[in-house]
Structure 1
């Protein structure tokens, strides 16, 4: 079971109501919050509410389109995020997904607090 996210506040863009991240309260009055990405990763140092909200709105969710890798199990290829929801984060081989080839899917617990998903670095030859 993951962390209790009951008090995390979703931050949504007004234009399309898309959730761009969450503010995790560090104090019961939300005077200090931990801004978190849609994956649940911390995206900056703790801040006041308005600063955290502005940071998440400015940041957006472009990271969902990026390629990722799992720290465990180690897989040879870049992964694409197919779905992010409180039920979990679904990832699969990015190239096979793009080619519409059936491929194994992996589920990562949401929020990904232990950061099993990390940004993919292209291997250098």
Structure 2
């Protein structure tokens, strides 16, 4: 059976119930999409946790080398990495007990989706979290 993203209503409920977003591949470069999207989500009230082994701080938050280094619960793992890197991220997301694996616009990987779903996570692929949040929660939570 082919992968299918959750319905818009399910995504809305997921966003309403989420506070903490770990962003894998978050860049400290202001011109990068990962930075712009994460900054917008932070402005909407989400707690952003950068996952980038090459940065100390991004968006004023401590950056971690991997998901397993994060010392607090994570609701959504938002991924800005090439598709071939996402199965490992999915394994880590399952291991830390995240609720959702979200692969950004242009990123999809059936193996990553299977790993995350088998681990009990909701999976969203090839969608921009900022766009979905803006459409579904235009006035915030």
| Structure 1 or 2: more strand by fraction | 1
TM > 0.5: no
The TM tier, using the shorter chain, reads under 0.3
The structure that has the greater radius of gyration is 1
Structure 2 length-normalised TM? 0.26
Structure 1 length-normalised TM? 0.27
| Structure 1 or 2: more helix by fraction | 2
Q: Which has the higher contact order (CA 8 A, sep 6+)?
A: 2
